Amino acid sequence: MTDYKIKSLLHQKKKSNWLRLEDSNSKFFHSIIRWRRVRNEVKGVEVKGSWMKEPQEVREEAKRLFEHRFSAIKDFGVRLGAVEFKFIMREDNEILLAEIIEEEIKEVVWQCDGSKSPGPDGFNLNFIKNSWEYLK
């Protein structure tokens, strides 16, 4: 490579680096954009050994590929035939499904330490106790 070509190449690299950091609407900038567009363009796809290059065929094949890849699987392959599940007694189920009474909730809140925070919102039980008339 001649000295001139090396200098020219280094100059172009310097311009390229400058353009990454600084925006310029120059001829060089647009040539880089065109070059990247051509380089990144999908020219076609190969499907089962045959090359498809018509835009409509490429679109249909891409659509089919993504539909196949991201379609829901109906059978997860989980079999629970040999698993024995524990069950809850009828009386316990009735207790769990019974209507919640305000007095029960208040009793539980007042039994807890006031400095404890029941959730990620950061409100501790002292706040709940002091604001009971609004929060109950």
Residues 111-133 pLDDT 10s: 888 777 767 777 788 888 888 88
Q: Please give the average per-residue pLDDT across 1-12, as a whole number.
A: 73
Position 109 scores a pLDDT of 85
Scan for tokens 């409509």, then name that residue: 56
Per-residue pLDDT, 46: 84
* Whole-prediction pTM: 0.31
pLDDT of residue 91 exceeding 90: yes
Q: Evaluate if residue 17 carries a pLDDT over 70.
A: no
pLDDT-derived band at 90 (thresholds 50, 70, 90) equals very high
| pLDDT greater than 80 at residue 25 | no
> 């050994």: which residue's tokens?
49
List the Cα angle 20/5/2 in 5-degree steps: 150
| Percentage of the chain modeled with pLDDT above 70 | 89
Query: What's the CA dihedral at 70, 71, 74, 80 to 10 degrees?
Result: 0
Give mean pLDDT, residues 85-100: 89
Looking at residue 27, its pLDDT comes to 77
pLDDT in tens, 40-69: 887 888 888 888 888 888 888 889 888 888
State how far the Cα of 77 lies from the Cα of 102, in Å rounded to an integer. Answer: 45
**The pLDDT of residue 2:** 73
Quote the distance between the C-alpha of residue 16 and its chain's center.
Answer: 34
Which residue blocks in the chain are alpha helix, DSSP H?
A: 3-21, 27-40, 55-69, 90-97, 102-111, 125-130, 132-135
